[in-house]
Structure formats: C-alpha cells, structure tokens
Amino acid sequence: MTTLVSEAPSASADAPAPSTELPGQYQELAELAGRLIHEIKNHLGTLSLNLQLLSEEFQNPQTPRERRALQRIHRLQQECQRLADLSSEFLRFARVGQLQRRPEDLASIIQELAEFVSPSLQQKGIELQTFVPADLPVLWLDRDLFQQALLNLLLNAEQAMPHGGLITVQAERLGETVQLSIIDTGEGMTPEVLAQVFRPFFSTRKDGSGLGLPTTRRIVEAHGGSIHIQSEPGRGTRVDIVLPVETLDSNHKETKATK
C-alpha cells in the first residue's frame, strides 16, 4: 500500500508542528489574492444575472437559430457557475491563516457532519460508520474550518465510490495526540496520483477544483497537526489526521506569545 505524508520529503518525522499563522509575506499574498478573487466573483455575479435575463428572452425559441442561441447561453451560465465555485474554493484556500480556536468536542463535530452528509451518501448506496470514544480529550479547534476540512475528505470518499461502499470515521488517543481516520472502500489511487493530491489545482476529475485536499492540509497544519494518506487502486483510501492534545494553560500561553 502506498503512503503519502503531508511533510516535504526532507522533513524529519519528529519535525515540530507548523505554526498556526502563515509567514507574513504569504499572509499578505493570500489576502491580495483573496481580494482579487472577490472582485472576480462580483463581476461573475453581474455576468450571470445578465445571462439569466438574456435566457428569459429565449424561453420559447421558435427557430433553429434561437435554439442555438439558448444553448450557448446555457453553456455560458454553466461556465460562470464553474468559475464562481472555483473562486469560492480558492477563497477558502487563501483565507486559512489566523484561526479562531476554542475547546471543542470532536465527537459532536463528527456527529453533526455525519448527519449532514448521510442523506446524500445513502442515495448513492454508501454506508457511513463512526467510532469515536466518549472519553476523547477536548481539542482546540476552529470548528468551522475543521468541519470544512473533514467535509472535503468525506466528499472525496463519496466520489471514489460511484457504485456504493463503506466510509468509516474513527478516532483514538495516541499519547499526547488524537488520531482521526477516514477510511473508504472506494477506487483508491495510483502512486502517481497520490504523489500529487496536495498540489493546488491538481484533480483527476473534469469538474474538480483541485483545492479540496490542499485546503484540508493547510487547515490541519494550521492546527499544529499532520495529515497522512494511504491508498491503493481497487482497495480504497485511508486518511489519518493527527492533532496535538493541548491544555487550556498551554494554549493560553501560545496565544499570548503570538500577539
């Protein structure tokens, strides 16, 4: 089975966890990119509105020319929506920086997410199982961002099982860390694909943004954690997220040190 670890090849297995803040120059670049994408989204919104108004002029096409015009308008609308979705994904990717962390119960986060995705999974013949001990320590998390990271992983697992299957979400304490695992029985990935999954804009799907896993990785690392992926074609994929267990006192000291 092929294994991918989020650290760079030269990084030590005992390397210190990444900082919860981006270096200043990268933070500035992310903010600049975010403002640019925001402007693009505004223009896309205006363009989409005008296309919608134009399509209403051709609701009952009478000639082949009008039907062709309506088809082209619909294609333009689809492309605008694709670009808007990509812009939203990029904004999420660019804005992973300063976290709003609070003490959170991992079990409640997983339960809430499971309730959200279960209807969609059931429609596709996918079973979701969760195994989270009640005595897990409280984790310092940005709840919204961390849920987004997990949702990205669950969506990837769902897309890897077009004919149904099983997703298992489990967690356990390992020393001073908590390991959260998402395991699917999907199609799996080749070593060549696995080597590129954290590269921004890389995707094996025609409609994929290629930002889901890079965003997930940045969120996990901003929490001081690491993400590891194991996968093999025809045998599914396992994603392990390892997060540090932090006390209230240590987190308070870290917060003061970064001010």
List per-block mean pLDDT (blocks of 10 residues) for the chain, which spans 259 residues.
39 33 54 69 82 85 86 85 72 67 93 92 95 92 89 92 96 95 95 88 73 86 92 94 76 46
Are residues 83 and 171 located together in one domain of the fold? Answer: no
Are residues 213 and 227 located together in one domain of the fold? Answer: yes
Are residues 54 and 156 located together in one domain of the fold? Answer: no
Predicted local distance difference test score (pLDDT) of residue 111: 93
Asked whether 89 and 209 are in contact (CB, 8 A), the reply is: yes
Are residues 90 and 107 located together in one domain of the fold? Answer: no
Predicted local distance difference test score (pLDDT) of residue 45: 82
Bridge partners, residue 184, by sequence:
167, 237
Predicted local distance difference test score (pLDDT) of residue 24: 55
**Cα 84 to Cα 102: distance, rounded to the nearest angstrom:** 31
Are residues 164 and 54 located together in one domain of the fold? Answer: no
Are residues 72 and 198 located together in one domain of the fold? Answer: no
Are residues 176 and 74 located together in one domain of the fold? Answer: no
Asked whether 97 and 136 are in contact (CB, 8 A), the reply is: no
Q: How many domains does the chain have?
A: 2
Residue 96: which region, alpha, beta or left (left: phi > 0; alpha: psi -120 to 50)? beta
Are residues 51 and 168 located together in one domain of the fold? Answer: no
Place of tokens 């990268």: 26
How many Å is the maximal CA-CA distance in the chain? 73
Neighbours of 140 (CB within 10 A): 22
Are residues 64 and 121 located together in one domain of the fold? Answer: no
Residue 189 DSSP label:
-
Are residues 144 and 215 located together in one domain of the fold? Answer: yes
Residue ranges making up the domain that contains 76: 25-94
**Consecutive H or E run containing 183:** strand 177-184
Predicted local distance difference test score (pLDDT) of residue 203: 78
- Least Cα distance to 238 among 159, 172, 148, 167 occurs for 167
Neighbours of 148 (CB within 10 A): 17
